[in-house]
Each structure stands twice: as C-alpha cells, then as structure tokens.
Amino acid sequence: MNDVRNKSIAARSEIFSDLKRNLDIGDEKAREKRVRERLSNPPRNLIPERANIPHSEQIALFREQIEAVSATVEQVAAAADVPAALASFLRDNNLPSRLRLGSDEALNALPWNKTPNVDVQTGRAVPEDAVSLSRAFKAVAETGTLILLSGADNPTTLNFLPDTHIVVVSAKDVVGTYEEAWTHLRETQGKGSMPRALNMISGPSRTADVEQTIQLGAHGPRQQHIIIVDDL
C-alpha cells in the first residue's frame, strides 16, 4: 500500500500546483473569502416558481408528480389509520403480510396491534424481505421526490432491496423545493453535516436500456407506495 499511497500524495501536490499555476489567481485573499462565504452561507440560486403555491397545493403537486412516474399515493387523516391502510394495500396487491421497518419512533408507535395479520419485523432489510416501510424526511413537491436519511431509524437497504417499498410521509414534511429541504436538513444535522446516505427517490426503479423501452423494477423496488399522513 505504501508505494501507492506515496504516489497519491505526490499526485495531490502536483495537481494542486498545476491548478494554482493554470488558474488566474490574482488576489488570493479575495478568492479565499469568496469560497469561505459561499460554503458557510450557501446562497440560493434561481428557484422555479412551480412550487411557490399554498401548502395544500404543494401536496397535490407532489402527488401529481410522483404518480406520473408510477408511484401510488394515498392520504390518510391520522397516524392511527396507517396500519389499516397498509394492511389493505398489501391485501389488494396480493403481497405477503410481513413488513420490514427500522427503529423509527413514529412508525413503531403506530397501533400495529390493531392489524394482527400484519407481521412487523425491525432492522435493516435482508434479501428475503419482500416489503419494506420507511418514513421520509421530506417530500419535495416540485418534482415529486422523497428524501430519506440513512441510520437505524430508516436503514438505506429498506429503500433498495425489497420488491415493494412503502413510504410514510407526514403532510407537514411536504415542502415545495429542494432548497427548503436543505434548510431543514441543516437544522436537524447541523451545518455542513450529512447522514451517511441521503436518498432522493422519485418512483420505483426503472430502466430504458433495451431499445429505450421503459421497464419498471430494474434492480430496486418494482413498486412504490406512499402514504401521506395529515396528522403525524
């Protein structure tokens, strides 16, 4: 490894000195200040007007956008309604009644005992899992995009391994734009910090690699179902 590591260190200094030589550096202090400021206080660029609408319409826009890419969406009034909604989704789609979820507090606090036919298991996904349940950090209206954060609450494997991925999102977590999500992210994670993985997901997995024919379920989930909860 040492030889390779030394080479990497040498390459680094060569690349940096090439960059400094080829760049029109001018006032170095001013450059450093520009970079520092942009990183510590990221300015917002142009934001499309599309999602600049009342919150209820943002929810409708989110739905419309993600349904357009083959996800299914339902909206329930209360958290307590989720297990029953889930049970009927599983039944209607002839899916097994075993469900994998992480240690997300809100999801685990749901009244699962009211749907004894749904068997809930916690932990990361394993290859045998057919159905998983996650809670989204945010849902972005402008393009119908869920944002999920890695960790014990909602392990990343839940998003990719099972054939069916069900995502619960609180209505208050539907935002208009990516930028709004980043603002919330910095509030919860701390400035400049990220979870190990942040997944932005719009619909089930797809490919168009054979004759540009769109086909769902390439490697990730074949099916994505979203439950928006008014009161969670």
Residue 122 CB, shortest distance to other proteins, in Å, is: 10
Angle made by CA atoms 47, 53, 59, in degrees to the nearest 5: 105
Among 178, 199, 186, which Cα is nearest to 51's?
Answer: 178
Residue 124 CB, shortest distance to other proteins, in Å, is: 4
For 176, list phi and psi in degrees, rounded to 5. -75, -45
Tokens of 41: 């206080």
* Contact mark string toward other proteins, 150..189, x via CB under 8 A: xxx--xxx-xxx---------------xxx--x--x----
Q: Specify the residue, 83 or 155, whose C-beta has the smaller distance to other proteins.
A: 155
> Segment contacting other proteins (CB under 8 A): 55-63, 78-86, 131-139, 202-210?
202-210
Within 88-117, the residues that bind other proteins by CB under 8 A are 102
> Segment contacting other proteins (CB under 8 A): 45-53, 54-62, 72-80, 91-99?
45-53
Q: What DSSP element (H or E) covers 101?
A: strand 98-101
- Greatest distance between any 2 Cα atoms in the chain: 70
- The CA distance from 178 to 180, in Å, is 5
Q: Specify the residue, 109 or 194, whose C-beta has the smaller distance to other proteins.
A: 194
Residue 36 CB, shortest distance to other proteins, in Å, is: 9
Residue 59 CB, shortest distance to other proteins, in Å, is: 17
Angle made by CA atoms 91, 225, 90, in degrees to the nearest 5: 10
Residue 75 CB, shortest distance to other proteins, in Å, is: 21
- The CA distance from 157 to 99, in Å, is 13
* Contact mark string toward other proteins, 15..34, x via CB under 8 A: xx-xxx-xxx------xx-x
Q: Specify the residue, 20 or 172, whose C-beta has the smaller distance to other proteins.
A: 20
* Contact mark string toward other proteins, 203..222, x via CB under 8 A: xxxxxxxxxxx-x-xxxxx-
Contact residues for 152 (Cβ-Cβ < 8 A; gap 6+): 102, 103
Residue 114 CB, shortest distance to other proteins, in Å, is: 27
- The CA distance from 39 to 16, in Å, is 20
* Contact mark string toward other proteins, 56..75, x via CB under 8 A: ---------x--xx------
Q: Specify the residue, 92 or 211, whose C-beta has the smaller distance to other proteins.
A: 211
- The CA distance from 49 to 37, in Å, is 26
- The CA distance from 131 to 118, in Å, is 11
